[in-house]
Structures are given as C-alpha cells and as structure tokens.
Structure 1
Amino acid sequence: MKINQPIGISLLIAGLWSSTALAQVSAPDSTSAPAADTGTGIEEIIVTANRRSENLQKVPISIAAFEGSTLTRLGIQSTNDLPQITPGLSQNRSIVGINAYLRGVGQNSAGYTTELPVATYLDGLYLPNAAAAAFSFNNIQRIEVLKGPQGTLYGRNTTGGLIHVITKDPGDDVSVDASASYGNYDTTQLNFYGSTPLSDTLAANIAAVYINQADGWGRNAFTGSEAYTFEDFGVQGKLLWRPGPDTKITLRGFYDRTNSDQGLGGQIYRGSVGADGTGNLGEYVINERRDPFAKQTQIIVSLKAEQNFDFATLTSTTGYINNKSPVFLIQSYNVGNPVAGQSAINFGLDQTAKTFSQELQLASDSSSPFSWIVGAFYYHDNTRIVTNVYGTCVDAVCAGAVPIETDGSQKTRSVSGYADGTYAITPTTRLTLGVRYTSDTKRIGGIATPLPGFPNSVPAFPASQVTQPGQPFSGFPDGIDTDVTFNKLTYRAIIAQDVAEDVNVYASYNRGFKSGGFNPVAFTNPATKPEVLDAFEIGFKSRTADRLLQLNASAFYYIYKDIQLRTTAPPAPPGGTLLFNAAKAHIKGIDVDAVLAPAEGLTLTAAAEVLNAKYVDFPGGVCSAPRAIGGDVLGGYGTTPCVLAGRRLPQAPEFSYTLGVNYALETELGLFEFNATDGYKSHVFWEPNNRLRQDGFHVVNASLTWKPLDSGFSLQVYGRNLTGSYYYTGGGDGAGGNDFGIPGAPRTYGVKARYQF
C-alpha cells in the first residue's frame, strides 16, 4: 500500500498528537479512576467489547469509545453524527436508515430490505435493520465502535464491526438532567432524563427527547415546499430490580417516532443532467412533482436478567422490536415528463418488521488464569414491505410500464451457539480462542399485481400480470428457491503480550460472515450467498506512566469474499433494485489513536486511518456513463457490463482523521469549557464503478460552555459544520437513469441551557 507524502506527514502528526479518544477521555459504566491528584492525566475507560467489563487498554481489539458527556460537549446529537469523530466510519443516509461502513465494509441498502454488515446493538440487544439504528437521547452512558469482524461473541452480520450504544442504569440517588436548545432553521430540542430509587431494591429512570427542525435546509423547486426538515419524539425508561445481592433484573422500554425527508430528498448530482433534461438547481434544492416523506415508529421492549454464582454470571437477554415506516419518494429524483425514458419514478412503500430475540450467556469470573464465555442465541424476524411503483402522470397521460404493487415478505430464523476463552499462559501473555456456529433460514413470500387507479394500469388482474416467488421465468424455468438455509462456522484467535506495565501488543485473526438473503420485493432475484471476511490484525496499546500520553495503533489486512451489493442500475427493473454478490476484495490499512493531556484542564485528541480497499475479482460488474444528449435523449446515464477488478470499494476514504481540543478553565465567574473538533474524510466513490465521486471535506464543530460555580446550571453556544462544507451523505447511479446525491447538513448553530442535579 502506497502512502503519499502529505498523507504520511498527516498520519505522523496524528500519531504524535492524539486520538479517537475524543472518546478516550471518556468514562466507564459508572466510575472513572482519577488520573492524578493534580487533576491532569487521562482517565481509565472500561468497555464491554468482549462481553465483560475490561480496561480499554487491555482489550486486543481496535475500539473507539465515547462517553455520554463527551458526546454532549462535541455536539453529537445522535448516532448519525458518529462519522464526524470516528475515522474509518462512514454512513450513507438512505430512506429512513443509516447504513454504516467501517474500514470500507458496508452495504448500500435501504430501509428494511436487508440487514447490514456493521451491526448496531442497544444495551446488548441486536437491532436488525438500518432503520432501527438512528436515535437521539441524553441518557447515553457510552458508545463503543468495534472495528473488524465480531463473528464469535456477537455473531451474524458483524462482518465489518459493530456500534454498541449503552444507556444509563437507574442509580441509588435522585438525579435530573434537563436541557433546552434553540438553533437556526427554527430548530428546537428538549431533553429530559430523570432517575430515582423506588425502594431499597427497585429503581427507575426515564429519558425523553423532542427535536423539531421546522425550517428546511432547502426547498422543492417544483412544489415550493420546504425540503430537509426533521422531527423526532422519543421516550425510553428502565426499571431495575435487585431482589437479592446476586440478582439484577432490568426491564427496558423504548418508543421513538420520526418524520423527515433528510434521508431521501435527493437531487440530480452536481455536474450531471437528468433523463428529463433537468440538472442540479442548487446546493439544497430538490425538483420533484411531489414532496418526499419518511415516517417511522419504533417500539423496543427488552428484559435482561443477571444472576451471579460463585464461579460465573448467567445473563438472559430477551427482546422484542416492532418497526413501522410509511415512505414516499421520487426514486429518480427528477420532475419527469410523461414520455418513456424521461419519466420520474414514483416509489411508495409501507414497511413493517417484527423481531424477537433471546440470548443466554454464562461468563466466568476473572479471578482465575482462564476466563471463558459460552452462550446461545435465537433470532426470529418477520419483515413485510409493500411497494407501489409508477411513472410520471400528467392529467390522463402516464409514462412507463404498468404500475405495480408488490407485497413481499421475508422471514428469518437464526440459531447459534458460541464459546470463547482467554488463558493467561504467563502473567504477561494471554491467548484467546473463540468459535461460533450459526444456522440461518430465510423464506420469501408475497405477490405482485398491477396497481389500480392509473390510466396505464390493468383494470382486471389477469394471471399473466400476477407474479409470486417461485414462479418460472426467463432464465429460471423452475423459479427461484424461496426457502434457503445458511450454516456457518466463525472463529477467532488472539495472542496478547504485555511488554511493560502500560504497554501491550497483540496479533489476531477473526472470521466474520453476513448471512445471505432475499430482496423481498423482487421475486426474480435469487437469494445471495453469505459474505465472509477474514481479518488479520496486529496492534499495540500504550500509555506513559504519568498518564499524560496515550498512543494506540493497529495495522489490518482483510480478505473479503462474496460481497453483497445492491444496485438500481440495469439490469435492475425500473423502480426496483437488484441484490447480488460482487466477488472478492482486499482491504488493508493503519489506524492510529492518541490522547495528550499536557496540563490541567487541557486535552488534545486525534485519530487517523489510512485505507486501501479494492476489488481484486469482480467480473460481472456494471459500468455507467452519461448518455450523449441529442434528439429524444435529454440526459441521464447508460450502462454496460464491465470488469471492476482494481476499483475502490464504495465509501472507503483513503485517508480520514479527527483532531480535537478540550480546555476547561475555572474562574471566579465560573467554569468555562471550550471544545472543538475537525473531522476530515478524503474523497470516496458511491458505486463500485467509481464514476461518481464525493471530494474530500472537513466538518468542524465547536462549543463554549459556561457553568457557574456550585451550580447545576450551564449555558452553551455551539456550532456544527462551521466552515459550511457542502457534501453528500448518499449518492449513486439512481433508478430511471439519473445520477443522484443526498446532501449533508449545512452550517448549524444555537444556544443550549441545561440543568443537572
């Protein structure tokens, strides 16, 4: 892997300076060890990456960990904002979902149609689709971003890693954290968190959030309406019962409702021309006959029971998730004319997903040289997606093929068992071995019929117009297999060595896999094969004895096979998508994280990643190019088959970094705290053919907080994307032959008042 001089210099600076430790000045579950009596130094961080509480510096995994108070200082409002402070992490906004990419591993999926290779967990509960992964609350204790496959302890669909959100447990004392903020774009946000003991053995907490961005970042040029608005209301709570000294039972409830067009209000890509001749009209301007919208309601209920025995702790985690989301968008992102080849593609869908999971885990105590975990996991998901696809209609004239309604469903059943153990060969040498066996069964069902009510629809439904999974069609005389099972063994091996009291090195091999599956709204799309990733990593973690400097680094090499991709470009049907396996890629890179605390109240942080992620075998690819304008051709792109070996993986920046400074100064007027971060990502491509490019960009955030002495009140002024960088959070070769982009947030700023006791 070649590293050019500017990148090499930047990486060296990052290595000498600091780290992802924007997080790593954060605290553990409930307590942080003070660094020194002088008030200087780096605090300990306790993480649960290995499904048990451990010091971050002793865990032989590349991790970024962020405490809730750190996220507040940085102006991180939700999981959507994590890429701003995590090198190697990118996110693609798509309909109601957030598709995460870690070290180039991810998927350009949308909505409820598939699970992602970077999983999201909430208090130990697996969230099955991208739509469930975005939320905003002020009760977050810590967020852990685990880089690399986690196929042993966490299992299926963690090929690239996982994001784990840990929320606060109720405490023994009464506490309240309430805040109100107001910002530009008429944005109001209200947060409340309260915790109280109810008896000697029972405690409860509750958190609520309301966000209303009433003014959009832009407008719809065709309708004149606001574009890129956002509204969110959520409430969650925990009831914690300790019936005995060795027993802990936690009941958790979560409700969240959002309404936004920020993940689907797309525009013709800058420099491109749409199939109807329209181009890009401005940075935050869309041009569509109808205003897009996406609504989502999430309900999550979980029960976690923990029983301590003399030798081990037994944990049972039971969860139920119910997601619903009606959506409408113009899938081709243009106005369209009632002419074949120039039409806009209207896309409405109603998505529902109901998921039940149960995990049992027995983990040994850590007092002996051998620590171990054994467990079993059961997962049951029913997803139903109803789509309506139709072309542009002006008066009684409609373009395109027969409007179609597809009512599709995918059922998933998964069972797995796992075991993982770490043995201290010597007091300074540890060997970890782990294995997991997973069996996934998936079944597709449904029916597709003409959509009534349109001039070009079919008034009656003849058998020739009705399709179902399993029916014969061209190329598949017996139809596709509608019931498939995937069995997979995943494993890991890690050797870790302490070379000094605060310095250790490690080498690891991990195998992860993402289950195969169906495209539930395309009955002629066979199930994909599972994708498999073999990861090799070496790294070190170090800290000076006085805790003034912490420096961690890792180098990794991935062999990534049978990569699953989704495309709306031909041969995908108009308004539809095609899910397929894309052969093989090699990914290699370097992560550097550091923290420097040179003086009381001052912390400098930085993190950097250099990444080389390319396909090494991709014979069945699709290349696209703008169509030559003339005659009936007004714009758009065309496609041809091509070989994509040697192309970069989507959403895989060659270089990314985060630099930060936090300075707290106590004066007679109170405590002043200044915080600033600069997150940079170099250019990326949206599709495997590497035609549409997002140039590199910075996102600079800053805040200044004032807190009077001996008071729970604080006042903060904040700004996000202060340099006004214009960038896309999603894009690619869209349906209808149009290049599209979904812009990220512009410069925002405001003031926040907060009270805590």
Structure 2
Amino acid sequence: MFTKNALRASAAAIAALAFIPAPAWADQQNEGAASAADDAGSSGIGEIIVTANKRSQNMQQVPIAIAAFTSETLTTQGVKSVVDLPQLTPGLGFTRTLVGTNAFLRGVGTTSAGYSTESPIATYVDGLYLPNSAASSFSFNNIERIEVLKGPQSTLYGRNTTGGLIHVITKEPGDVAAIDMSASYGNYDTVQANFYGSTPITDTLAVNFAALYIDQGDGWGKNLFTSSDVYKFRDHGFQGKIRWHPTPDTKITLRGFYDKVHTDQGNAVAMYPGSVGTDGSVYQGEYRINTRFDPHAMQRQYSVSLKAEQGLGFATLTSTTGYINNKSFAEQTQGSILGQPILNQGAIFLGGLQTAKTFSQELQLASDNPASPFQWIIGGFYYHDKTMILTDVYGTCVGAVCDPNPRLAPLRTTGFQKTKSYSVYGEGTYDLTDTTRLTLGLRYTSDRKELDGTLVPLPGRPNSIPALPPSVAPSPHGVIDTEVTFDKLTWRVVLAQDLSDDVHAYASYNRGFKSGGYNPISFTNPPSRPEVLDAYEVGVKSELFDRMLRLNVSGFYYDYKDIQLRTTAPPAPAGGSILLNAASAHIKGVDVDFEFAPVRGLMINGGLEYLDAKYHEFPNGTCTVARPVVGGIGGTITLPPAQCTLDGYRLPQATKFSYSIGVTYSVDTGIGTFDFNANDGYKSTFVWEPDNRLKQKGYHLINASVTWTPEDSPFSLQLYGRNLGGVYYFTSAANAGGNDGHLPGAPRTYGVKARYQF
C-alpha cells in the first residue's frame, strides 16, 4: 500500500525528471505529436472521431447530439472523473448516492439510490454495460475519450438508455512504449498519484497498466456530535489490458479492472437549510452534520471483459463478454420520529450491504465496405444480474430511554432481485443520394425479473431497542407477484442530409425503453411498469470559417410515459422506500455546442441548453409539507395522494438553463510553454423532488489552471483551482423519514500537480 510520505517523495522525484533528457525515440514521438498539433493549429479545429454508432466516424457526420471529450481536453479542463462532466456538458447532472452517482440528462434520470434500480442514463466502459454507477472508478489517467450521447440509444445499445448514455473509452496498448505518471497535492491534505504505462511485448502482443491512488486526509467539515472530520474520500484501483493481434484480421483484447472506495460524501446527510427535524435538528452551517456516529460507505468492484474482433472480408464479427462484481456497505442515521425524548438525536439507524454479480454477452456483425451505399449492423445481447440488498433498521436510544413504537422494531430485510434479459437488434443506413442517408433500426428486448427475500427480527444491539416480532409478512411470496416479464420493441428512424461538405442536418425519431422491476427491500410493493420515451429531434452540425468554428445545434421534444420514481414518504416503511410510476411528462429543449479557434494557441469552447421539462399528468403523487414546530419538534407531513396532483410541476434535476464556457490559451516562451485554462459552468434553479418543494438555487462553478511545460522536456507542472468562488451547492437533497436533508458539493479546492510523459 502506498503511504503519503512515499507519494510526496514520488512527486519530488517526478519533478526532478524535468532535467533528465527524454530518450531519442521519445523525442521522435513528441516531434510527431507536435507536428500533428501544428497541422491542427494551421487548419483550425481538429476532427473528433467517435464510436456512437459502434463504428469509427467523424462526430460531425453522426446524426446524434454528442458531447465528446478527448483525454487532453479532460486534463486541461480539470476534469478528474465522470462526475465532473456536468462542468463541460450543459443538461447533464449527477445526484450523489453513497459512493456512486445517478446521472440526469435532458431531464431524464432516476431518484433511486444504490443497486435497487438501473439508471435510464446508461454507462458503458469499452463497450461493457455497467448496471451500477460508481463514478469514482473513472478517475484513471488511461481514458482515451468520453462520449455523452444525448437522447434514446435504443437500437445499438438498448439496455436502459432511455435518456442517453455515457461511454468511457480507455486507451489501447500501443506499438510504442509510453508512460504517463503524475502526483499531486492539494488542500484538505489531498494526495493523488496516477500511473499509466503501455508497451509492446512482441509484434502481435501489447499490454498496458494503470494505477490510481487518492487520499483526502482532512474532511470538508465536522460532525458536531462526535467532533470527527466528515466529507472525506479515499480511492485506489488498478486497470490493465492485453491486446493480441494473432493475424491482421484478428484482434483479441482482455481487460481487467479493480477499484475500492471509502467515503462519507454520499451519506453524511445534513439538515436542509430552513428545515426543522422531527427530533428538533436544524441546519448547523456549511459542511456540518450532527449525528450520533460518523456515517461511512465502502464500495469494492472488479470486472473482467474479453473482446474478440474477427474480420471476415465483407463484415467484422465482434464478441464482447463481461463479468462485473460489485459490493457496497454503508452505515448512517436517518431522521428521527416525532416524540423522540432527546433533541438532536437521530432515531432511525440504517445499515446496509449491497452486492451485484453481472454477466453479459454480446455478438455483433457489422458491414466492412465503406464504399457501399448500405452500411448495416446486426447483433444479439444476453444479460444476467443477481442483486442482493440487505438493510438493518433499528431505533437508536439514549441511555436506557428508547422509542417503543412497534413500527420501528429492529428488522433485517434481505432482498434478492434476478434479471435475465435477451435482445436482438439490427440497424442499417442507406445512401438515398450522394448527400442523403436514411437509417432504420429495430430492437426487441425481453426482460424477466424475479424477487425473493426474508424479513426477520434484528437482534438487539448496544443502544438499540430490543428485538420485536415483525409486523409484516416474512417474504414477498403470497403478497405480490414475484415473477414478471417485460417485452418491448424499440426503434430508430433518422433522415440525414449533407447541406455542404461542412454542414450536415438530420431529423430523428427514437423510442427508448427502461425495464420495470422490483423494490428489493419492500415485499408489499408491486413491480413498477417499464418507462417509455418517444424522442423527436432535429439538428444541424457545422464547421465554419475554414474550420475555425464548430457549431452544433439540436432541438428536441420528448413524450415520456410511466416514469419510475422512488419515495421514502408514507406509506413507505420506516427506513425504507417504495417504487412507483408517475403518469407522463413532456420535455422540450434546445442544445448548442461550439468550439472556436480564432487564432493559433487560443481555444474557446462550451455550450448551452434551454430545457422545459414538466409532468403532463401526475395525479395521486407524493407531496410533503412542513409540520408546525411545537416544542422545538418539526419535521414534515405527507399529504393524502388525492391532495397531491403534480400536473405541470418540473421534473427533478431538470435545470431550465445551463451553460458551460471554457477558454484555453497556450503561449511559448523562452523557458517553455504555458497553458492557461479557465472554465465556468452554470446551472439555473432546479428542484430535487417531484413536488418541487426542495430547490437548488442557481450557481456558477469556476475552475482554472496554469500548466508549465519546459522546452523539450517530458515534464510539466500545473497549478489548479476548483470552485474558485467557494460556492456552497448541493449534490443531492431529499425528504427521508420525515426530515429534509442535503449533501454538499466540494468547496474551494486547489493544489499542484507534477506530470511526466514519454
């Protein structure tokens, strides 16, 4: 295991490498890279190649709204992990869930946490679908590119891509040896070290390896009850690939991954400003909580995937096999109940263990003749997942005084949800003329879900009330249907038109589908129905003024039905939640993305989104209102469903207006090159829950950095700052257990980073 002293010594050692000449072959490589940069600088904005259609294409010729970021863009813009992408992608947001995140894109997302449901914004890594999001896993420096595909991707990707997907593409082992390593130190005693190395072994075999270590030694805030630091983070992981080219037409890639995270940034819940809890708790100030013990969470995950590609002359056959094993443990307090005898002491303790084991297999056959007027892909996908969620819920006590309410009897719930999914798909693009293309795609999916589990008394623990008999059925059998199958046909229709060599227009109609499923820890909650989203979009992609300006504009309209929501308000059990379907929503908006290179060395990029996302029909919803404070005791009351009609209310995390603008300027001097970067990401006011009571005020996040690269040196040194305005914003807010809580985002952070590349 690395130590902080060793890492600090490593940073110094890397800095010393600035004065060591690079190997001759490294100089040649750097010269080649510089030449490529010169070419790009002389011709304006460089071409971006993406694989959104599961084949390499110029992003401007793909009729999908895409935000794509290369590794260098991510580095210069200060993006350290996937959760930082909203800084560069208007319309994208994340909600904190323990050690992971839930994505929202164009108003589409999920309010569920943990492993209980899959997100309608899918995440892929090198073509492998990830059923559980743990964004910290992507803090590696081996990322080649990240693509954010907006709108349903229901044909080629299919599984739970109702609102879009995030695809992380990592670097392939190269034919030339390369190393990229860095060490940084920042405030809050934050140490980070990254290593990436790649080397050929033979003419046909190459490997790469990446390692990550992050340790934030000091927390952003305090637990006033225990006097401990809170909002800390620790992560370490490894990733590697072996690429084998036994013949010119055959490529086999084996990828392995391991990551472990310890943090409380996703469950150190603080009272919402202005709210009073059911035990009298109030907002204690920025980055302050007041709980009986320190919350914490851990996630360990590993995965392995095997990708085999075989050229057949007329087409390429690709097989992608993957296995993912996730495990997460967390402990925290939820707000208390009315009448707790001691003020400011949480009355519900939540302990949880979640595991998921996932196997997937995809076969794909894609045409291989770019000169043909007809390009096609056909394939099949199998997916098997077994998720286990164990929760312990018990009321805490103060000394010998405990809450006797039987509803809070100490209970252990263990739920198992199994998913088997089969799908087949096909998509073809035909050139109607030299400038007009028609794409038709179709996918059929069959999902089978099963639920099993037990509900038993939890033995008494120190400071817990004695175990009482459970007051509900011990298992879901006989209470609800424990097996259900969802079959769905989804499609894609796109008409694309080249208006000139540099201007391309398209119109599309896509149907997205997210499977229904169970709430694994509620044995009286029937399965939710599938979500269906019909998306209509028109767009123009252009490169103007001799490729000095890239400007892409799209307008969209979504008809969103049977939206899946989760609530902890009654009739949800204490410490639990229920899964339900809203009726429908209408979403419309405009996306703009641009890159502008007016002079050599200067790049201005960014985008904006206007979004109008509201429930169209939502009777019998869940609405909470503040309870009058009596004797210092507050909390919330849940209104009867008949009194909660949410027609016309905004969707959670549907920011009406957001933008991002970044400026990068590079200047050569006698002592080397200086790269200056600044970025401003803005979100207007948005809501956290369907009843729109809890809101996040609009805010700016401003990041900046300056990087010095000595002349003819593989070394660079960077000074960076994030959230320079010191904005206090939330990464999540919700009503749970009758209390309003929130999780804060990172405060102002800054530091220095040393990097060595060859």
Residues 124-152 of structure 1 show CA distances to partners (whole Å, capped at 9, x for unaligned) of: 00000234774310000000000001111
- The equivalent of 2:19 in structure 1 is none
Task: Please say which of residues 207-216 and 446-455 is displaced more in the overlay.
Answer: 446-455
Query: Where does 1:378-393 land on structure 2 (aligned, <5 Å)?
Result: 378-393=382-397
Establish whether residue 164 from structure 1 lines up as the match of residue 170 from structure 2: no
Quote the offset at 1:161 in angstroms.
0.3
Say if 1:219 and 1:285, in contact at 8 Å, map to a contact too: yes
- The equivalent of 2:381 in structure 1 is 377
- The equivalent of 1:202 in structure 2 is 205
> Aligned AA for 1:367?
A
> Aligned AA for 2:241?
K
2: distance between equivalents of 1:337 and 1:170? 60
2: distance between equivalents of 1:411 and 1:242? 37
> Aligned AA for 2:600?
E
1: distance between equivalents of 2:308 and 2:357? 22
- The equivalent of 1:15 in structure 2 is none
Match of 1:710 among 682, 687, 712: 712
* Unpaired runs of at least 5, structure 2: 1-32
Query: Where does 1:198-237 land on structure 2 (aligned, <5 Å)?
Result: 198-237=201-240
Match of 2:453 among 446, 449, 452: 446
Establish whether residue 289 from structure 1 lines up as the match of residue 292 from structure 2: yes
> Aligned AA for 1:445?
D
- Same amino acid, percent of matched pairs: 63
Establish whether residue 239 from structure 1 lines up as the match of residue 246 from structure 2: no
Establish whether residue 588 from structure 1 lines up as the match of residue 591 from structure 2: no
- The equivalent of 2:537 in structure 1 is 537
- The equivalent of 1:722 in structure 2 is 724
Q: Secondary structure at the match of 1:130?
A: coil
Query: Where does 1:38-437 land on structure 2 (aligned, <5 Å)?
Result: 39=42, 41-131=44-134, 134-332=137-335, 337-338=340-341, 343-365=346-368, 366-399=370-403, 400=405, 401-437=408-444
Say if 1:450 and 1:458, in contact at 8 Å, map to a contact too: no
Q: TM-score, normalised by structure 2?
A: 0.92
2: distance between equivalents of 1:286 and 1:525? 32
Q: Secondary structure at the match of 2:259?
A: strand
> Aligned AA for 2:411?
I
Query: Where does 1:600-749 land on structure 2 (aligned, <5 Å)?
Result: 600-631=600-631, 634-640=633-639, 641=641, 642-735=644-737, 737-749=738-750
Query: Where does 1:541-552 land on structure 2 (aligned, <5 Å)?
Result: 541-544=541-544, 546-552=546-552
> Aligned AA for 2:444?
Y
> Aligned AA for 2:51?
T
* Unpaired runs of at least 5, structure 1: 1-29, 472-478
Quote the offset at 1:398 in angstroms.
2.4
> Aligned AA for 1:549?
L
Residues 427-477 of structure 1 show CA distances to partners (whole Å, capped at 9, x for unaligned) of: 100000000000000000010011111587665868x66510123xxxxxx
Task: Please say which of residues 340-349 and 636-645 is displaced more in the overlay.
Answer: 340-349
Say if 1:450 and 1:457, in contact at 8 Å, map to a contact too: no
Residues 548-599 of structure 1 show CA distances to partners (whole Å, capped at 9, x for unaligned) of: 1111100000000000001111221110011100110000000011111000
1: distance between equivalents of 2:720 and 2:576? 42
Residues 477-519 of structure 1 show CA distances to partners (whole Å, capped at 9, x for unaligned) of: xx21100000000001000000111001100000001000000
Quote the offset at 1:612 in angstroms.
0.1
Q: Secondary structure at the match of 1:723?
A: coil
Q: TM-score, normalised by structure 1?
A: 0.92
2: distance between equivalents of 1:418 and 1:102? 24
2: distance between equivalents of 1:286 and 1:334? 18
Q: Secondary structure at the match of 2:64?
A: coil
Q: Secondary structure at the match of 2:647?
A: coil
Quote the offset at 1:620 in angstroms.
1.4
- The equivalent of 1:512 in structure 2 is 512
> Aligned AA for 2:194?
N
Say if 1:74 and 1:676, in contact at 8 Å, map to a contact too: yes
Question: Judging changes above 3 Å, is the alpha-carbon distance between structure 1 residues 671 and 34 closer, same or farther for their aligned structure 2 residues?
Answer: closer
Quote the offset at 1:334 in angstroms.
10
Q: Secondary structure at the match of 1:39?
A: helix
Q: Secondary structure at the match of 2:623?
A: strand
Quote the offset at 1:630 in angstroms.
1.7
- The equivalent of 1:476 in structure 2 is none
1: distance between equivalents of 2:658 and 2:108? 15
Say if 1:443 and 1:484, in contact at 8 Å, map to a contact too: yes
2: distance between equivalents of 1:41 and 1:669? 26
2: distance between equivalents of 1:582 and 1:570? 16
Quote the offset at 1:639 in angstroms.
1.2
Quote the offset at 1:234 in angstroms.
0.5
Q: Secondary structure at the match of 2:55?
A: coil
Say if 1:528 and 1:564, in contact at 8 Å, map to a contact too: yes
Residues 97-140 of structure 1 show CA distances to partners (whole Å, capped at 9, x for unaligned) of: 20000000000111111101000000000000234774310000
Question: Judging changes above 3 Å, is the alpha-carbon distance between structure 1 residues 498 and 281 closer, same or farther for their aligned structure 2 residues?
Answer: same
> Aligned AA for 1:619?
P
Q: Secondary structure at the match of 1:82?
A: helix
Q: Secondary structure at the match of 1:154?
A: coil
Residues 269-326 of structure 1 show CA distances to partners (whole Å, capped at 9, x for unaligned) of: 0111111112100110011001100001010100000001111111000000000111
Say if 1:268 and 1:333, in contact at 8 Å, map to a contact too: no
> Aligned AA for 2:206?
A
Say if 2:93 and 2:653, in contact at 8 Å, map to a contact too: yes
> Aligned AA for 2:250?
T
Say if 2:81 and 2:136, in contact at 8 Å, map to a contact too: no
Quote the offset at 1:94 in angstroms.
1.4
Say if 1:40 and 1:598, in contact at 8 Å, map to a contact too: no
2: distance between equivalents of 1:332 and 1:167? 42
> Aligned AA for 1:112?
Y
Quote the offset at 1:363 in angstroms.
0.5
> Aligned AA for 1:708?
P
Residues 331-388 of structure 1 show CA distances to partners (whole Å, capped at 9, x for unaligned) of: 2289994579985321100111000000000010222010000000000001111100
Say if 1:686 and 1:732, in contact at 8 Å, map to a contact too: yes
Question: Judging changes above 3 Å, is the alpha-carbon distance between structure 1 residues 717 and 340 closer, same or farther for their aligned structure 2 residues?
Answer: closer
> Aligned AA for 1:85?
L
Task: Please say which of residues 335-344 and 43-52 is displaced more in the overlay.
Answer: 335-344
> Aligned AA for 2:744?
P
